[in-house]
Amino acid sequence: MSPPRKLSTKTRLLRHLRPSDLQAAAQLATQATQGVINLAEGVHRSVHRQLGLTAGQAPDRTSGLTGQVYAGVRGAAGLVGRGVDRALSALLARLDDPGATHEASPQREATLAALNGVLGDRLRASGNALAQASELRHQGQPLPIDQPAAMATALEGAGPHLLLLIHGLCMNDAQWCRGGHDHGAVLAQELGATPVYLRYNSGLHTSQNGRELANLLERLVAAWPVPLERISILGHSMGGLVARSALQVARDAGLHWPARLRELVFLGTPHHGAPLERAGHGVDLLLAATPFTAPFARLGRVRSAGITDLRHGHVLDADWQGRDRFASAEDHRVPLPLPEGIACFTVAGTLAPKRGLLADRLTGDGLVPLNSALGQHDEPARRLQFARDSQFIAYRTGHLDLLSSPAVAAQLLAWLQTGPAAQDAGS
């Protein structure tokens, strides 16, 4: 018997693609091509500026024959892109049935999650089909929250306790399962809760995702098949910021679901930002410092709004609205304390075997410093007042390892098993 034929890399890749992905990828490639043309012209113009040849030029364009060449290349790229888009649209009408059920590939879903984390705001703004929409999911499938009969089937056996899990940047709901362990599944079994996972476009502003989550939860609570008594939220990394944002939006709007929220648990959440995004902002400033490197600063500005929100841990619209998100390193956040009347807990990881200045303020779990995850800040108005027994530090644990740590799982269970009646919220 001959051994099984090994699939080529191309064949393996195609197994994870849908026909509609081709059109979305072509649109993205066209936009990238336009960006490269603009970058090249920017470098060319910088050289002209140094030689004193900028008379009559637009601020970001070359002039004369050079400008005409760039305009021609830009126009040709646009024509090619539109032609490819029309051709693929006609082809997809025959190949891709919008009503068909496609088997989800974990590899495809993980790639889309990462792409949305980096470019999700641009994907949505351009109407690209690769942009992910916010949705609530159960057992790996989206919940039809506006279809009562379908909801009753999808949540058959659901109880009065909802456990909501919110993933972090560049991730999705399936990635809560790490090393064969899923905090959601373990906690749901031990607590008798029903786990629901949020999938969202992590490249959008945190407050945009918070608003979408607030509205989704209001509809979910209204469609829950049994009387809902208790909501517990567990947010990993950026997911914790999205949860805080959603709660504030819901309270401001007078929504009903916050009245059922009992616990808010943060897992490696950068409440006061992450140094890697601050380093990215530093690279932007460095590149912009000289005329010849300034055009390359555009490369750093490709990163999404979701990523730049992590510089200081933005939660509200007011934290970013009306400002160039690449222009200032200042912390413009409106101080937002922990919500009253809700038991709040936080888990912080550190790669170090014990606490120290470096671990507290810089390294932490490799992405989030200890002080940031614990809500500690030099300015009293910005400190998040977690009770001493509502904090847990996982030593020798990286940011993603928080998702599979047995010690973290045990602590989460201990907090949530206590029950809301015995918890002293906030202080």
Task: Give residues with Cβ within 8 angstroms of 29, minimum separation 6.
Answer: 81
Query: Which portions of the chain are predicted below pLDDT 50?
Result: 1, 10-11, 13-14, 32-48, 50-56, 62-63, 65-66, 69-70, 72-74, 76-77, 79-81, 83-85, 87-88, 91-92, 94-101, 279-290, 292-298, 420-427
Dump the DSSP string for 12-40: HHHTT--HHHHHHHHHHHHHHHHHHHHHH
The pairing of strands 230-236 and 161-166 is parallel
**Residue 160 and residue 304: Cα distance in Å, rounded?**
37
pLDDT of residue 362: 67
Contact 238, 245 (CB under 8 A): no
Between helix 206-223 and helix 238-253 the angle, nearest 10°, is: 60
CB atoms within 10 A of CB 87: 12
DSSP 8-state secondary structure symbol assigned to residue 343: E
Contact 352, 363 (CB under 8 A): yes
- pLDDT per residue as tens digits for the range 227-260: 999 999 999 999 999 999 999 999 999 999 999 9
Does the model's pTM come out above 0.85? no
Contact 171, 202 (CB under 8 A): yes
The kind and range of the H/E element at 299 are: helix 297-300
Task: Give residues with Cβ within 8 angstroms of 319, minimum separation 6.
Answer: 207, 309, 312, 332, 333, 334
Hunting for tokens 């709004």 — which residue is that?
Answer: 305
Hunting for tokens 């009753």 — which residue is that?
Answer: 152
Hunting for tokens 């064949």 — which residue is that?
Answer: 11
Q: 3-class DSSP state for residue 186?
A: helix
The token duo for 82 is 């539109």
DSSP 8-state secondary structure symbol assigned to residue 359: I
**Residue 375 and residue 385: Cα distance in Å, rounded?**
7
DSSP 8-state secondary structure symbol assigned to residue 365: T
Hunting for tokens 């030099």 — which residue is that?
Answer: 378
Q: What is the radius of gyration, based on Cα positions, of the chain? A: 24
pLDDT of residue 36: 44
**Residue 353 and residue 349: Cα distance in Å, rounded?**
10
Contact 297, 287 (CB under 8 A): yes
Domain ranges of the chain: 14-96, 135-273+333-420
pLDDT of residue 3: 52
CB atoms within 10 A of CB 158: 18
**Residue 346 and residue 241: Cα distance in Å, rounded?**
12
**Residue 301 and residue 306: Cα distance in Å, rounded?**
12
DSSP 8-state secondary structure symbol assigned to residue 362: I
**Residue 91 and residue 393: Cα distance in Å, rounded?**
54
**Under CATH, which architecture does the 135-273+333-420 domain have?**
3-Layer(aba) Sandwich (3.40)
**Residue 259 and residue 231: Cα distance in Å, rounded?**
9
pLDDT of residue 326: 74
**Residue 381 and residue 396: Cα distance in Å, rounded?**
31
